[in-house]
Amino acid sequence: MRPQVKWRRSFRFAYEGVKYALSTQRNMKFHFFAALVVLTLALFFRLTKYDVLFILLAVTLMIVTELINTAVEKAVDLAMPDIHPLAKIAKDVAAASVLVSAAFAAVTGMIVFYEPVEQMFLKAKQAEGTGFTAGMVWSLLTLIMLTVIVVETRFSRKGKLGEAQPAHVAGFRRRHLDRFPDAIRAGGTTWFFSGLHAGGSSL
């Protein structure tokens, strides 16, 4: 296979991964919407290039951790379709990485937007005679940060022990896991992944 064709196939597979995450994961849709809003505000406030770089770093970290979280969730569902405490731990830890990146993004937004938002409120106060104080600005930014964290934890259903699986997904797993020995049903994930590595995509 020529290197150029191989590169195109790799790019297409990566694009399909992003497309799948956007079409199936509500958190990913929220991240892209929030990124669009934040970048629009960056243009509105005419932030410096360093502030924009921090915003892009936070946005990229959020999207990457959400993609990894989705990949871990699907891999765990395939390897361990039945309820298992270790499967729950794997999902919970992956979801925790998204939560940490969301907290980082919220703090970054507070630091970057605090000064321009405060100046905007001060101008409104001078024009109308009343306005927001610095404490109210901090309260508003803190509320935004808490909203982001709550959305991350409230709308994420990943990692729940005993979560019901869709009928077509459960049927797919039953059909394909029947081809493996009973060790995989008992938790032999090491054998399972080694078989995947040796057999490639023949499954």
> Exposure pattern of 181-201 as b/e (b: 16+ CB <10 Å)?
eeebeeebbeebeeeeeeeee
| CB neighbours of residue 177 within 10 Å | 17
C-beta of residue 159 within 8 angstroms of C-beta of residue 94: yes
Decide if 55 contacts 35 (C-beta within 8 A).
Answer: no
**C-alpha 184, offset from chain centre:** 29
Task: Match 């196939």 to its residue by tokens.
Answer: 9
**Is residue 66 annotated as a catalytic residue, yes or no?**
yes
Per annotation, catalytic residue among 66, 115, 118, 163:
66
| Of 72, 71, 81, 79, nearest in space to 162 by CA | 81
Residues contacting residue 38 through CB under 8 Å, at least 6 positions apart: 55, 59, 109
Give 187's contacts (C-beta < 8 A, 6+ positions apart). Answer: 80, 84, 86
Point out the residues that are catalytic.
Answer: 66
